[in-house]
Structure formats: structure tokens, C-alpha cells
Structure 1
Amino acid sequence: MKIVDVCAFYAPRGGGVKTYIEHKLREGPAREHEIVVIAPGKEDRIELRGPLARIVWMQSPIFPLDSNYRFFADRDRLHALLDAEAPDMVEVSSPWRSASIIAGWRGATPKALIAHADPLSAFAYRWFGGVADRPTIDKGFDWYWRHLRRIDRDFDLVVSASESLSARLREGGLTKVVTNPMGVEAGVFSPLHRDERLRADLLAQCGLPAEATLLLGVGRHSPEKRWEMVIGAATAAGGRAPVGLVLVGGGRTHRRTAKAIAGNPHIVALKPIADRPALARLMASADALIHGCEAETFCFAAAEGLASGLPLIVPDEGGASDQGRASAGYLYEASNPVAATEAILRFVRDRAAGVSRAYAEPRTMAAHFDALFAIYAQHVRRDERRRA
């Protein structure tokens, strides 16, 4: 197949979407599929990634809300690029302008939306959750659900990375949702990388002995990640048991994160770790992974934690919750710092009692793409039969 991904949020300094696309540029050609990514860029150019993979950069203006990104402004040019590529399958990696543009493309090629984000959970529910329940918030944001239902009508499928997100999309009226969880990079994360000396050193940095509990949090510093809540929960739990917390990440709210730590000697903040083997070693050397965000569509940090042999302490909503439930993890009421504290203490008690979680081999990104391309092949064959 020839698959064209119209990806508005692929950028040189992009985050999770860029990581996902980089996997696709490798995994597709490995299965003899041609992968073309159309992305908004500073100039028109083509970046070759091998005989079956390339990025077509389309000159586009800077995105007003984040200068790291650009946005598709020329509908006709984007349509012309799709006409020229003549793909078997078109993907769209954002539900906003690019999805609307592709919905209006006259090509008969099957179309898929990849649900990389859950903006209502990341923003609306977090902003207004203290004054209104979710049905009320959903009613106030019915324009968004109407927009998604239009995409669902005009596209052939909507690919979701977790059952929790799929359920919410279906409850919102979408009828073409397919769940295909993502996975971890094969051969990187493993319990075999555990290093007791590194663990002891990290606890020493937290001012604690090796007998203490070492929690690890990994992710960018932004409001929806709720690191301030995680810090508060770890601080409260640390008042009742020896608990250290190591946070790995950076981002636009790092100053707020540092302020929340406020000199707590049992919490250490580290910069992002780009060296994957080094991150794998650190993850395997902790005792549990803790996460605060209920807006994850999948949660790579949780998946990598599980692959490293770590129990999960995660909110009971969002992509992390699916992985927590599947692994008998420690779930707590989302956005509730008291509940997060109690979940930490439950884990501490279980660890002291020798309770352990059975390790299971994680799902890999290769398995994700095997499933994704199989789904696409079904739609392409269906489309060919319809045209015949």
C-alpha cells in the first residue's frame, strides 16, 4: 500500500506525534508499504528517508499558539499534493483544520483519523471540572462533538489508542472508532536493566536509605500532566513512610514544578533523558512509576514503565488507566491528590509485604503497526471492490 499521512503536528522539535511518525517511517517500509508524510514546514522541500519513505514539507505559516509548529493554510495546494501522490490510504493526525481540509478532498481514497489527543480531557474537563460535571461540560462543548461527528461521517475510520478513549468517542456519537493500542520500542525497556547501585544512588540523592521506596515520574512539564499534584501526593506519603520521587522531564511549566518541590529533599528533578538505553536503565531501577495525567490517549511512559517491570500508580481515567487496570496497578481517582497519596501508600504497604506483580511481555510498536496496516488493507480491499 501507499499510505499518505497528512500530519499537521510533525515538526523538527515536535513531541509524541513526531516520535510516532518516526516509527511509522521505519515500520511501513519494513513491511513493503510506502509511507509519505505531508507536513507544514518553513519551505517546500522533500526529505527522503529511503526508497519507500519520505517527508513532503509544504511551506506554511507559523501556528499562532506555538511557534514550534506550523499549520496548513492552503487547502488547494494540499489537495493538489494528495492528487499527485495518489495514495491507497490517507491518514490525518489532527482532528482540527487538516481533518476538515481532507474531508473536502474529492479523492475517493479511504481516510483515517489517528486520535493522538483528547483535548476535552486535557483542557475543558481540567478547567471546568471543579464547577461542573462532565455531561454539563460536554453540553457546553457540543460544537467539538459535532465537529468530531462530521469527521466520523466523512472518514472511513477513527483509530484510537485506548479503550477508554474509544468508549468516550462512541458515547459522543462516533460510529467508526477502532481501538489499536500503541506499544513500546522493541528491545529497549526491560527489567533486566535494573541496577541496584543506581537505585541506591537515586535514593541517596533524595536523602533516603536504600530501604526506602523509589517512585519515578516521566513526562513533559505541562498543566495537564499534573506534576504538582504528584509532587504533593509524594510529599504527603513521605510524611508517613520513606518515599523518594525522581521526576524526569522538562517543559513550559518547569518553574511551577520546581516551586512545588520547594526544597523537599526527598524529590529530585532531572532534565529529559534523550539517551534511550540510559532512560531504560533508570526506569528499571525504580520501584514504581507514578503518573498524574488523565488526558493521555495511550501513555508511553506507562507502557515503558511496564516494560521495565514497574508497577503503575496512575489515575483511573485516560490511557494510563487502561494499562494500570490490565497490569493490576494502583489506580486512584483522577485529579484527587488525597487519593493519589493513598495509592502510593497502598503500594508501599504491598511492597513491604512482598506483594509483586507478575511481569508480562509488553506490546510493541511493531505489533501496533502490524494491526494498523492490516486494518488499512481491509479498507483498501473494500474500496477496490466498491470501485470494481
Structure 2
Amino acid sequence: MTVETSPELTARKNAAIARGVGMSTQIYAERAENAELWDKNGRRFIDFAAGIAVVNTGHRHPKVVEAVRRQLDHFTHTCHQVFPYENYVALAERLNAKVPGDFPKKTIFATTGAEAVENAIKIARHYTGRAGVVAFAGGFHGRTFMTMTLTGKVHPYKAGFGPMMNDVWHLPYPNALHGVSGDDSFAALERLFKADVDPSRIAAIILEPVQGEGGFVPAPEGFMKRIRALCDTHGIVMIADEVQTGFARTGKLFAMEHHGVAADITTMAKGLGGGLPISAVTGRAEIMDSSQPGGLGGTYAGNPLGVAAAHAVLDVIEEEDLCNRAQRLGDRLKQRLAAIAESCPEIVDIRGPGFMKAVEFEVGGAPSPEFTKRVVEEAMARGLVLLTCGVYGNVIRFLAPLTIPEPVFDEALDILEAAVLAARA
């Protein structure tokens, strides 16, 4: 039941674009507004993907569009390392104040989430003089060689790409539904430090407060505090990958605010730019300053248009109280999913903070990517775009813009229920 809105374009895409660039849909966008998107044939879809948590403030938010338009009237690029500009400095100041942590901070900008993670690892290695990095199974950090190595999922991200980077170690991430507790993760860490690597060789531990591609799995209560204490004991840099969790998605500006401790370094991208490419690394000033001048940066890093958009995004989150709205929308979605679950035993878990919700499906006690795919296809046929995730591909994640109008949200919930019931038929 694949929805294909332009077979001619699909044929052109197949002839022109490398097969490795995967596509979740065959819908070719013509225009978008807030939480709605129209294809080249004029068919309307409700977007519960938001560019994979990029347009948290909605497609083409007027304030973001106006900020970019104003910047276009001045300049589009100088390279900050050649001709610096004030709004780059001002955005760094804002992030230094907003990222969790009661200590002096500094920031650098890049273009993508993977670049942010790469730079965070570089900085941690330079600061500590160590090479080792600990990451978690199920985590996703990017597709470059270092970030692909950090990612804890083989297919499709690692398969066939040869040896990974060395000195990277993976631990099981807590997931109660799959039988892994926080204690289990720490027991694995203790075994790692006894059997495989001395903690004095570890530069950083990197983890997502809520695993994204891994299935929208939140870190359990107290887990981040234990990681923080362990890092302090061994002089390890704690890195929070907030690329997908940041910018009001979880009901807080940053997901780490739910845990009562701060990472040494925070990576961010996606929602920061409201649809324009920009990423950032913010961390303890002494750690961020460890690299020599020229060791960090990039030609497009902190592009003026992305910086202008990011300022507008931060303004919109504050002015429209999107953290609280994320919590309200997430609560309503959870209630509706719980009601659907009463007649759908395939739903085995509903989880996630704020409006970073997910539902997991099993059939006969085993993960069912097949049932999950049917739900997604039924929803697509009715005009609702959903995305899957999870190690087994049996999770649907909900990432609608936080600005979604109430009538559109109500319509989407009705479509979701109809799609789940149709998948069971």
C-alpha cells in the first residue's frame, strides 16, 4: 500500500540519486506550512515527522522566515573564521546561558548533528589526552566514520562499510521492556573496565537522554546521575547527545533538565535551526578551550542564515511557551494511544517525555516490524506521515511540530486510531 505521489519523479530519483540515500516516503513535497505538507499533485498530508525533529517550530514559522529574509539582505556567507559576525557571538552567548550546567561554558558551531558529535569527541580527546570512548547499543550519532562507529545499530548504518574506528566500546542501554535495567548497564560497564579497557584510557562517555533511532527509549530515573558520578570518579568527559531531544521536544528546552545533572559537553542540531542547517557544541569553558586555534571550525560552520534562524527559534520557543505545549500535546497523545491500546493488544508500550512519544508493537510476544509497517502505510493512505524507529523497526515515533494547530492535531489522532484498527483487520 505504498503511497507514491509522483511515479515519474521516483523513476528520475532512482536513475539520478545513489541507492544508499534511503527515503521513508515517495511523497515529493511542493509546499509546507506549520504541520501540513502538500505534494506536487496538491494532496495534503499531516506531518508527524517534522523533518526528523527539525521543524519543532513548524514548517516556515513566520518569525523564522522573516529572520532569514532580513539576514539575506545583509550577507549569506563570509566564513566566521575570516570575517566574523555579531549574531554568531550572540547565539553562542544564548546557548551558553541555556544549556544545563551551573558553570562557565563556551560554544562552537557546525552544520550537522554528526559534525557536532565529531567535534565533541575531538574536544574530549584533546582535553583528556585519552582516546577511548564509551557509547551505547541502540544509540544513533551520525553516519561519518566516528559517528557511525559510535552508533549502536548495524543495519543500515554500518553494514558493508568496513572496519570501524578503534577505541570505541558499546554498553547495553537500559530498556525495561527488553529486559535491560540500569543496574544491568552498570554491571556491563564494570565488566568492561575489568576485562577490556582501563577507565584511565576513556576520554568520554556519550549517550542520548532519550534514544532516538533506538526506539525513543528514555534513560531511567537516576541513570544519568550514576553516569555523572562515574565520569567524575575517573576524569571522563560526559557528553549528552541532544541532537534529537533538544529545543522543547521533551517538555524542557534540553532533555537533560529532566535528570538533575549536567553533561560536560552537549551536542545539538535539528530543532536549533528551524529548517536551516546549523549545529552546535556547548560545554565547560576549560574543556572547550583545550584545542589550539584552527583545530575546530569549518567553512560553513555557523552560517549566517542558520544563525539567524536559530535566534528566531529560541524566541518562538519562549514566546509561544512551547516547552509546556509539548507536555500538553504529549499527554493528549499518550491518553489517546492508551485508549487505542484497549482494543489493540499489539501495543506493548507507550513511552517518552513531552512530545517525544513512541508506541511499540509486538505480535505473539515478539517485536513486529510487519505490523508496525502496516500501521504506517494505513496512516499514509489517510494523509498522516509517521516514522518508525527501534532496533527491530517495531516502534512508531511521533514528532509533529510543537506548533501544530489543535484542529489538525485532533484530525491526526483520529487518523492514527483508524490506521491502527485497519492494520489489525
TM range (shorter): under 0.3
Select the structure that is richer in helix: 1
